[in-house]
Amino acid sequence: MKRNLAKGLIFIVLTIFLTGCCCGGGKETVVVTPEAATPEGGGGATAGQQLQDLKAAQDQGAITDEEFEKSKEKVLKAQ
């Protein structure tokens, strides 16, 4: 009985530990959309900075290739 209880507690502790390591505590990813980064939106980022931010978001998997291309077009058209 005590052996099963100990195994159960170990299982629960390991589950909580691994869940915390795998599912939380990571870096936050902030995606800057062209609309939010324009001077009218208060962001004030240059087109170059917006493109760098978009590329970083794409490289990190925060946005898809399609989303990157659409956003890049918006940034370049705003020039």
Residue 4, in any domain of the structure: no
In a domain, 39, yes or no: yes
Residue 9 in any domain: the answer is no
In a domain, 59, yes or no: yes
Q: Is 66 part of a structural domain of the chain?
A: yes
Does residue 13 lie within any of the structural domains? no
Residues 10-22 pLDDT 10s: 767 666 655 655 5
How much is the pTM? 0.47
Spatial distance between the Cα atoms of 50 and 44, rounded to a whole number of angstroms: 10
Number of domains in the chain: 1
Task: Give the position of tokens 């170990």.
Answer: 10
Contact criterion met (CB below 8 Å) for 47 and 78: yes
Please give the residue range of the domain that contains residue 45: 29-79
Decide if 18 contacts 50 (C-beta within 8 A): no
Cα–Cα dist 30/69, whole Å: 18
Could you report the per-residue pLDDT of 27-77, keeping only the tens digit for each?
A: 666 666 655 545 554 467 898 999 999 999 999 999 999 999 999 999 999
- Nearest-angstrom CA–CA distance, 72 and 78: 10
